[in-house]
Amino acid sequence: MRKQLPLKVSVSGVRGIVGDSLTPQLAARFAQAFGSYLGGGKVLVGQDARASGVMVKNAVFAGLLSAGCQPVEAGICPIPSFLVLTKERDTLGGISVTASHNPENWNGLKFISGEGLYLNFSQIQEFMDIYHQGEFTLIKADDHKAISAVDNPTQAHLKKLLNVLDVSAIRKRQFKVVTDCSGGAGAVLCPEFLDELGCETLWLNATADGIFPHPPEHIPENTLRLCRSVEENHADVGFVQDADADRLAIVDEKGIPLGEELTLALAVQYVLSKKPGPVVTNLSTSQAIEDLARTHDVPLIRTKIGEINVVEEIMRQRAPIGGEGNGGVILPAVHPCRDSFTAMGLTLESMAHTGKAISQLRAEIPRYFMIKDRIAGTPEEANKILRQLKIKYAKSGEISDLDGLKIDFGDLWVHIRPSNTEPIIRILAESKSERRAQRAVLRFKKEIAG
Amino acid sequence: MKLLKIGISGIRGIVGDTLTPELVMDFACAFGTYMNVQQVLLGRDTRRSGPMLRSATVSALLSTGCDVVDLSICPTPILQYLVKKLKAHGAISISAGHNDANWNALTFIDREGTYLNSYQGEAILDIYHLGRFKKVSARSLGALTEKNEYPETYFADLARFLDTEAIRKAAFRVVIDACNGGGAGFTNTFCHHLGCELVPVNNEPSGYFPHEPEPRPRNATEVATIIKITKSDIGFLLNSDVSRVSIVSENSETLSEEYTLPVVASFYLNRKPGSVITNLSTSRMIEDVAGVRDCRIIRAKVGQSPCIQEMIEEDGVMAGEGSGSVAIREFHPAYDGFLSMGLVLEMMAVKKLKISTIVRQLPKYHIKKEKICCPPVKAHSIIHEIGKLYPSRKTDVSDGIKVDWRDGWIHIRVSGTEPMIRIISESRNEKKAQERLDKATSFVKKRV
């Protein structure tokens, strides 16, 4: 089996391990390539809370300056705030210094267009071609620009959130909320945001110091402290943001974690009740969303995995809402990107409008059990196995090969696909019966292992 | 021709050509790896490419685990002084001194505040060539702090070192042309401490150089004019990192940069006699000045690193070169334009003499200089060959070739900072100086 390499260049940018693959030189080359791709102009530079952000950011400055760009520093900034800012400011694009949910010793670069969107597949191809050709713009000394900075980089985002949300309805309820910012960039905006919503707040890991108290992935084991705090303090709801604040997990008023699939389901349920329209999500997201769409008699469109794929389809469909089952809620009225603040706002607004507790809202969502597992395997091996499985199961269920292989058996679906970032094959199964889902995962694991 | 000079204590090149962010990072990583230290100070001059080099250097140093204290725009001698004062472990200065605006450079400074010596420089070059830099994990990365209050300490100490009372009493009016370089603005602090009235020329830290940032007569016309209008006592020109100074007298005579060292020495050696270190290319004036005071002259290779190194090893009291650079060991082992200006002002105040009178007391030589563009690959063989011109004379080949006559000398060498061959000819007899220069120049030009 191929080991996980310490560097990954993919459609979602560059990620590597600091002190190993992610060197200043590498970051500067990518930034210079991006500056060459943009052809100069203002480029926003933001970072998540990781301590290595200073090192990487300065390398990015050097690369951008050499390519004739004018770096505009946004500092530590939640990723949705950064995306909004890139669109609102007169900039040609942005680089976010972040490794998203990877462990603390990782960092990376994400590349953003002037519309505040991640580069799409064809844009990233074009940009990577420039990187690989290695012929970067290199301007003369006299043409060097200065570095400037943005005060209050989260304000544009906050303004949009407060415009879209029913602030007065939420304020009236004076919710008591416990939030775990995971030591990430969310901490920069979250206190101000919840304060505007009139919430009484309690905090866990709310310093953006980049010291992650728990692995920044949303899994129930990482929410134990939060669950206890919600219960002990009799809070109305608990929230966990991931390290760059694009994804959210929710804990109900009894201190029970809902599981990250529920974040989008709750948001979809609420938004469709106010404004029906198509819903867009990826192939791996819960069947519950499909049921909700059917109830509201709106189409559900599934895309390949990858945030930009969902975002582009949302824009094409003019969908009022979409997102991913990993806790990534996308409300284009705020900005077409995954946004934990939007997710929080919608959850609170839903509680305010319906007068229901979060556990009651959760009870209205069809109950499914999703089992996620993985098995070692390179994309090449995965491809071979998926071909065989496709033939074998052609008649036993509805098949989609849009991204990996998804087989819908009616009351059970299984999705098998190679990971974009690691040499593993992901296996997901979902059913109303937990045992059925578990058994399906085991069976396919065995089949893949041969 | 690609212009990049890898010297003993740093690298120097044209931005947008050879001096790329990656190259800067590689060398800064090599420095961080070699020094293997905690705290490195960082300063730069006002060049427009400064922020790029600064960002690249910061990133590289942090990646090797060094903590970086960024002093932003800071003249090199102040940075050198602060290394010791703040007990830092080294420094990098981002400035190409006297080179044009499109150049920039990294200069590496060790914990003593001196330019790295040739052994240290070679070790760094080895690490650079090997390309194996120290890398630390995310939790061990260095931290960056930004400070700009430290230069005040330097000026306070400088004022204590000088006879500030005498200077204050004299209440000089001083014209300083900082060429909008690293010294811009610091000149105000300098004059404030010494109670001088500053007539500032090109004193904006914009990095736009109105003339070459090289202190020498041909760049001094503006200062000469302003001295006349303002009836000032003296004028100074600085290079962009304030390591070099040239003087303009109160009657607007634009003095060669060769005068700075002998002027300072003729005063300082009275106070503290001892050996003076200079290079092979520097005017004989310093030999005469030292000679009458029974002080020894030691000739070293051209450049701050070899001259300062020699001063420390030979226990000299001062060092300096004909480029307008002077270091006083007692204060700190670095070429320091502020200190040079301070001592000249002190001399005028204490001796109650005009600068023109001081200069008139020095022996009169005629010095002629020429520089010829030459690719570095050719330069060394040309210099080797040129010995043929002087078959009957004893030659010194420790740095290029130097030939002495009773009335003067000629020195032909490869520049340490540019792809040039420099020829300097000096004699008490102006005609002889010119003839010798012309002869050598035509020899070199034929072979380039």
What was the ipTM of the complex prediction? 0.87
CATH number of the domain at A417, please: 3.30.310.50
pLDDT for the residue numbered A450: 74
Judge whether residue B165 has pLDDT over 90: yes
- Asked if residue A374 and residue A289 are part of one domain, the reply reads no
- Asked if residue A261 and residue A205 are part of one domain, the reply reads yes
pLDDT for the residue numbered A4: 64
Domain total of chain A: 3
Q: What is the DSSP string of B349-404?
A: HHHT--HHHHHHTSPP-EEEEEEEE--HHHHHHHHHHHGGG-TTS-EE-SSSEEEE
- Asked if residue A351 and residue A419 are part of one domain, the reply reads no
Say how far apart CA B300 and CA B398 lie, in whole Å: 8
Say how far apart CA B446 and CA B229 lie, in whole Å: 46
Judge whether residue B100 has pLDDT over 50: yes
- Asked if residue A407 and residue A259 are part of one domain, the reply reads no
| Mean predicted confidence (pLDDT) in B102-119 | 95
- Asked if residue A69 and residue A197 are part of one domain, the reply reads no
Q: Among A363, A384, A406, give the residue marking a domain's end.
A: A363
How far off is chain A from B376, nearest CA to CA, in Å?
23
Q: Which residues 64-93 of chain A have a CB within 8 Å of chain B?
A: 65-66
- In 3D, which of B265, B254, B239, B251 has the Cα closest to residue B184? B239
Contacts of B131 in chain A (CB under 8 A): none
* Helices vs strands, H then E, count in chain B: 15, 20
Instruction: Note whether A238 and A255 are within 8 A (CB).
Output: yes
* pTM of the full structure: 0.90
- Asked if residue A442 and residue A373 are part of one domain, the reply reads yes
Instruction: Note whether B256 and B246 are within 8 A (CB).
Output: yes
- Asked if residue A403 and residue A342 are part of one domain, the reply reads no
Whether chain A has a CB inside 8 Å of the CB on B132: the answer is no
pLDDT for the residue numbered B417: 72
- Asked if residue A352 and residue A240 are part of one domain, the reply reads yes
Residue A1 inside a domain? The answer is: no
Whether chain B has a CB inside 8 Å of the CB on A257: the answer is no
- In 3D, which of A319, A317, A318, A337 has the Cα closest to residue A328? A337
Strands (DSSP E) contained in A66-116 are 69-76, 93-97, 106-113
CATH number of the domain at A337, please: 3.40.120.10
Say how far apart CA A350 and CA A345 lie, in whole Å: 8
Residue A275 inside a domain? The answer is: yes
Whether chain A has a CB inside 8 Å of the CB on B131: the answer is no
pLDDT for the residue numbered A185: 94
pLDDT for the residue numbered A1: 42
| Mean predicted confidence (pLDDT) in B190-216 | 96
pLDDT for the residue numbered B393: 85
List A12, A66, A96, A100, catalytic entry: A100
- In 3D, which of B52, B61, B54 has the Cα closest to residue B26? B61
Whether chain B has a CB inside 8 Å of the CB on A270: the answer is no
Instruction: Considering only the beta carbons, identify the residue of A24, A140, A142 that sits closest to B59.
Output: A24
Residue A79 inside a domain? The answer is: yes
Residues 6 or more apart from A395 whose CB is under 8 A from it?
none
Q: Which residues 92-111 of chain A have a CB within 8 Å of chain B?
A: 104-107
- Asked if residue A160 and residue A149 are part of one domain, the reply reads no
pLDDT for the residue numbered B375: 86
Instruction: Note whether B149 and B172 are within 8 A (CB).
Output: no
Token pair, residue B197, equals: 């009235």
- Asked if residue A192 and residue A50 are part of one domain, the reply reads no
Judge whether residue B186 has pLDDT over 80: yes
The residue range of the domain holding A408 is 369-449
Say how far apart CA A269 and CA A308 lie, in whole Å: 23
Judge whether residue B2 has pLDDT over 80: no
Residue A416 inside a domain? The answer is: yes
Instruction: Considering only the beta carbons, identify the residue of A32, A57, A141 that sits closest to B101.
Output: A141
Is the backbone of residue A282 left (phi > 0), alpha (psi -120 to 50) or beta? beta
Q: Among A122, A137, A153, give the residue marking a domain's end.
A: A153
Q: Among A332, A363, A394, give the residue marking a domain's end.
A: A363
Q: Name the percent of chain B lying above pLDDT 70.
A: 100
- Asked if residue A339 and residue A203 are part of one domain, the reply reads yes
Question: Which of A75-79, B80-84, B397-401, B430-434 has the lowest average pLDDT?
Answer: B397-401
Number of CB pairs < 8 Å for A and B?
124
Contacts of B102 in chain A (CB under 8 A): 140-142
Judge whether residue B447 has pLDDT over 50: yes
Token pair, residue A57, equals: 């950011």
Judge whether residue B80 has pLDDT over 60: yes
Residue A2 inside a domain? The answer is: no
| Mean predicted confidence (pLDDT) in B174-190 | 97
pLDDT for the residue numbered A421: 72
Domains and CATH numbers, chain B: 4-148 (3.40.120.10), 153-360 (3.40.120.10), 366-447 (3.30.310.50)
Averaged pLDDT, groups of 10, chain A, 450 residues long: 69 89 96 96 96 96 98 96 95 94 90 95 92 93 94 96 98 97 94 98 91 67 88 97 93 94 97 96 94 96 94 97 96 98 98 97 95 88 90 89 92 90 88 96 90
Residue A426 inside a domain? The answer is: yes
Q: Which residues 80-109 of chain B have a CB within 8 Å of chain A?
A: 101-104
Q: Is residue A10 helix, strand or coil?
A: strand
Is the Cβ pair B17, A138 closer than 8 Å?
yes
Whether chain A has a CB inside 8 Å of the CB on B141: the answer is yes
A340 labelled catalytic = no
Residue A384 inside a domain? The answer is: yes
Residue A65 inside a domain? The answer is: yes
pLDDT for the residue numbered B378: 86
Token pair, residue A235, equals: 């809070």
pLDDT for the residue numbered A7: 83
Length of chain A: 450
- Asked if residue A266 and residue A131 are part of one domain, the reply reads no
Say how far apart CA B54 and CA B21 lie, in whole Å: 10
pLDDT in tens, B38-74: 899 999 999 999 999 999 999 999 999 999 999 999 9
